[in-house]
Copies of this chain bind each other. A is one copy, B any other.
Amino acid sequence: MKDHPILKAARGEKTDYTPIWIMRQAGRYSERYRKIRAQAGSFMELCKNPKLAAEVTLIPIEEIGIDAAILFSDILVPLEKMGIDVSFVEGKGPILEPKAEKLEDVEKLKIPEPEKDLPYVLETIQLIKKRLTDRPLIGFSGAPFTLASYMLEGGSSKNYIAAKSTMWNEPELWDALMSKLAETVIEYLSSQIKAGVDLIQIFDSWMGVLSKDDYEKFVFPYTERIVNELKKRYPEIPIIHFGVNAGHLLEVNNRLSVDVIGLDWKTEIPFALERIDKSIQGNLDPVTLFADEKIIEERVRKILIEGLKARGHIFNLGHGILPPTDPKKAKFLVDTVHKVSKELRG
């Protein structure tokens, strides 16, 4: 397993082809996923059902021949065990309550003990690892800023007024919340690693809404704390760091001891390579899978050629695969990445 191309690419070692996985690869674009989700009852029930969660995690291995599985779960799963009610309303996204608006609220939040509080996640990992022996399993967590945003906004947000004004106007509350989240993420990811994941991705999906100064001052230190602690505990486990619209944060994030930085499709690879010396992940526009195959191949080729200059390259979309995507196009993407990268590296 240690020599799987995804792990080698993360470590910056030479590979025969460019490996690929896709964010949200076990998701709504797959009919089988939709059936299993219906069977589970709801999205959150599916996340908490190890047998079914393991089942959907493995779908893209079988259906599109992807190079790695990613644990089927949601970044909000651990928040429930901190003492936050998380519900998903169709078409409205998640609703979180109570909001972490006062220092007392934050003090009441618990740092979950994953083995005790989140056993279904760890059991899912163990079930997957039993069946998936030839490819890596990716574990993941949201980063403190993205989690804090959900907790302060009470759900998804367009403008992040609550998160940003807390950050600026109530530094003590902000630090307490972000510190607690950093501890939570450290323990959560450690437990995933102990349960068997081979590499991890930290999703700071919304960091790109912050100016560089704000990111550097109010967010980066907490992510750094997580990365440093994980690298101390598990130096052999590669870490990927990802967020969208974050080209302006590359120089700052290059200071993280992560192995891979994920890029969206607006952050061009040559631009990124001037700013970071990590391996890269990305970065095809997810909408490209609605283009004709000729166009997909052309764009994949360009990204693969640019990626050759990186320390290592894991192919991915620049954000999650979109629910209306035709699964045939996803399979075409995987095949094309393999074919063209072999040709380019051969």
Contact = CB atoms under 8 A, between A and B. Distances in A.
B245 A266 contact: yes
B164 A266 contact: no
A295 B165 CA distance: 10
A309 B268 CA distance: 27
Contacts of A248: 247, 266-268, 271
Contacts of A290: 161, 164-165, 168-169
A22 to B, nearest CB: 15
Interface residues of A, number: 33
A168 B291 contact: yes
A305 interface: no
Given A161-B287, A161-B322, A322-B159, A168 B211 contact: no
B212 A159 contact: no
A159 B286 CA distance: 9
Interface string A156-191: 000111001100110000000000000000000000
Given A165-B287, A169-B292, A287-B160, A266 B208 contact: yes
A265 interface: yes
A324 interface: yes
Contact of A265 (B165, B211, B292, B322): B211
A137 to B, nearest CB: 28
Contacts of A267: 248
A322 to B, nearest CB: 6
Given A159-B322, A268-B211, A322-B161, A291 B245 contact: no
Interface string A255-298: 00000000001111001000000000000011110111001000
Nearest to A210: B266
A159 B287 contact: yes
B324 A161 contact: yes
25 contacts: A159-B286, A160-B287, A161-B290, A161-B322, A161-B324, A164-B285, A164-B287, A164-B290, A165-B287, A165-B290, A165-B291, A168-B295, A169-B290, A169-B291, A169-B295, A208-B266, A209-B266, A211-B285, A212-B266, A213-B302, A214-B285, A245-B266, A247-B248, A248-B266, A248-B271
Please list the 5 inter-chain residue pairs (A to B) with the smallest Cβ-Cβ separation, ordered nearest first: A165-B290, A168-B291, A164-B287, A248-B266, A211-B265
